[in-house]
Amino acid sequence: MAFELTDANFQEKALAPDTVSVIDFWAEWCGPCRMVAPVIEEIAKEYQDKILVGKVDVDSNFQVSMKYGIRSIPTILIVKNGEVFDRHVGTISKAALTEKIEKALA
């Protein structure tokens, strides 16, 4: 299951050195976010020992959302060694997201 990231734990969990994180910025009311949610959960299961997969509720976590300029949701960030490696706005297929993750892990 994807890890719940918040303003309070984001720095420690998502930006840890020597890690790759996949971060889904979403909101409960967002239809496209609900479409992406199963993909995020599948990725979380498949990569559970390799990467951190987390979700940030933009309605509850304004600081992180503002820091990363989240204007549209869903937005998925792939963070490698504390820096944004890739950014995707909108829905995404599992295959496309997996390809982005594999590039970050390479």
What is the tens place of the pLDDT at every residue in 44-62? 999 998 999 999 999 999 9
Phi and psi (nearest 5°) for 13? -85, -50
Q: What residues contact residue 77 under an 8 Å CB cut-off, 6+ apart?
A: 21, 22, 23, 25, 68, 84, 86, 87
Evaluated on CA atoms 19, 23, 69, 90, the torsion sign reads positive
pLDDT of residue 1: 82
Q: Choosing from 23, 33, 44, 77, which is the catalytic residue?
A: 33
- The yes-or-no answer on residue 33 being catalytic is yes
Q: Choosing from 15, 16, 30, 89, which is the catalytic residue?
A: 30
Q: Residue 68 belongs to a domain with what CATH number?
A: 3.40.30.10
Let me know: does 51 contact 19? Beta carbons within 8 Å.
yes
Q: Taking residues 4-29, what's their average pLDDT?
A: 93
**Residue found under tokens 């706005």:** 89
d(CA 99, CA 8): 30
Number of domains in the chain: 1
Structural domain harbouring 29:
3-105
